[in-house]
């Protein structure tokens, strides 16, 4: 058993595989610490894992054809808007292969594109309520409905629903990130997450802020917003693109990772 440290989980996995002289899939790995970009370059954290080789890897010639086809590898990439880590699954053919310690489970992936938006909503509603049935917060049954043909509306209500937003929306961001990656990957749908009218209030706040920005655009033909939080920048982007479909509206980043929106004429880019 060895403790491995690297800037990213992907590099840590590769380093562990190199030290044991085997493939990543042969290792038994426990993640001790996820990597983090920190804040403004401070408090940066490396990825730390504990790797073990539970058995001696067989010769390549002895590997069966079925084993050669299954090579699950989980990689992680940084995301500076919602979360510091982003898990991805390697999908082979039309099946997901999940490896967990000493057993391997093969899950048939249903054809997402044959499901209607309402069928997707019904299925997500059933599964998401199973997921949150034992949560410590006092919330009502989670409601999932069709917002439009490409988007599902997931609503959390109840006495403690507001507690799921978290200070400055950090829980909202994390929950939105996890639910989107599941719903988009499995059903090919977008997500609109509403928790105790948090999203509605944010949209109203951005609408009020954009009044002055729109006045500048109407007068000068160009403008840019202040640096906005990850949730707010997406709301502002949608509102500005809806109002100015004939203009260039895009997100830009500051040197320290902040996000803002620029609005200009297409011919200037």
Residues 3-11, mean pLDDT to the nearest whole number: 85
pTM (whole model) above 0.95: no
Which comes out higher in pLDDT, residue 143 or 96?
143
Q: What is the pLDDT of residue 79?
A: 40
Which CATH number does 199-268 carry?
Answer: 3.30.1370.180
Hey, what are 167's tokens?
């200070």
Residues 147-156, mean pLDDT to the nearest whole number: 92
Residue 39 φ then ψ, to 5°: -125, 120
Residue 51: is it exposed, middle or buried by C-beta count within 10 angstroms (0-12/13-18/19+)?
Answer: buried
Residues 151-160, mean pLDDT to the nearest whole number: 93
Give the number of other Cβ atoms within 10 Å of residue 6's Cβ: 17
Which comes out higher in pLDDT, residue 123 or 167?
123
Tell me whether the CATH fold assigned to 112-196 matches the one assigned to 199-268.
Answer: no
**Is the predicted pLDDT of residue 115 greater than 60, yes or no?**
yes
Give me the residue spans of the domains in the chain.
2-108, 112-196, 199-268
Q: What is the pLDDT of residue 193?
A: 92
**What pLDDT, in 10s, does the model give residues 8-43?**
888 888 888 888 888 777 778 888 888 877 655 556
Residues 143-149, mean pLDDT to the nearest whole number: 92
Percent of the chain clearing pLDDT 70 (strictly above): 74
**What pLDDT, in 10s, does the model give residues 159-218?**
999 998 888 788 888 898 899 999 999 999 989 999 998 888 888 999 999 999 999 999
Residues 127-154, mean pLDDT to the nearest whole number: 91
Q: Cα–Cα distances in Å, from 183 out to 2, 179, 257? A: 36, 6, 27
Question: What confidence category does residue 74 fall into, taking pLDDT thresholds of 50, 70 and 90?
Answer: very low
d(CA 240, CA 125) in angstroms, rounded, equals: 31
Sort strands 190-195 and 2-6 into parallel, antiparallel or unpaired.
unpaired
Q: What is the pLDDT of residue 31?
A: 82
Question: What confidence category does residue 56 fall into, taking pLDDT thresholds of 50, 70 and 90?
Answer: low
Q: Is 43 helix (H, G, I), strand (E, B) or coil?
A: coil
Percent of the chain clearing pLDDT 90 (strictly above): 33
Which CATH number does 112-196 carry?
Answer: 3.30.300.20
Q: What is the pLDDT of residue 41?
A: 53
Tell me the pLDDT of the chain averaged across its residues. 77
Q: What is the pLDDT of residue 40?
A: 54
What residues have CB less than 8 Å from 200, skipping those under 6 apart?
Answer: 194
Contact assessment for residue 158 and residue 140, using Cβ atoms and an 8 Å cutoff: yes
């Amino acid at each position: 058993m060895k403790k491995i440290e690297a800037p990213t989980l992907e590099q840590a996995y590769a380093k562990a595989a190199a030290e044991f002289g085997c493939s990543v899939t042969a290792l038994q790995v426990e993640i001790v610490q996820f990597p983090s970009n920190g804040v403004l370059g401070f408090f940066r954290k490396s990825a730390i894992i504990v790797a073990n080789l539970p058995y001696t890897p067989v010769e390549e010639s002895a590997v069966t054809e079925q084993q050669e086809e299954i090579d699950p590898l989980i990689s992680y990439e940084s995301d500076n808007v919602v979360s510091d880590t982003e898990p991805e699954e390697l999908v082979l053919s039309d099946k997901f292969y999940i490896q967990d310690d000493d057993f391997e489970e093969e899950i048939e992936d249903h054809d997402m594109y044959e499901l209607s938006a309402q069928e997707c909503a019904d299925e997500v509603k059933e599964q998401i309520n199973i997921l949150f049935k034992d949560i410590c917060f006092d919330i009502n049954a989670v409601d999932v409905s069709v917002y439009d043909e490409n988007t599902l509306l997931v609503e959390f209500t109840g006495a403690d629903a507001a507690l799921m937003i978290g200070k400055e929306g950090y829980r909202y961001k994390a929950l939105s990130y996890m639910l989107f990656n599941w719903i988009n990957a499995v059903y090919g749908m977008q997500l609109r997450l509403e928790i105790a009218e948090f999203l509605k209030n944010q949209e109203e706040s951005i609408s009020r802020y954009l009044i002055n920005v729109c006045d500048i655009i109407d007068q000068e033909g160009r403008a840019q917003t202040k640096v906005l939080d990850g949730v707010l920048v997406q709301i502002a982007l949608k509102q500005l693109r809806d109002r100015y479909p004939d203009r260039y509206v895009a997100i830009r980043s500051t040197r320290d990772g902040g996000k803002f929106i620029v609005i200009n004429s297409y011919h200037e880019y």
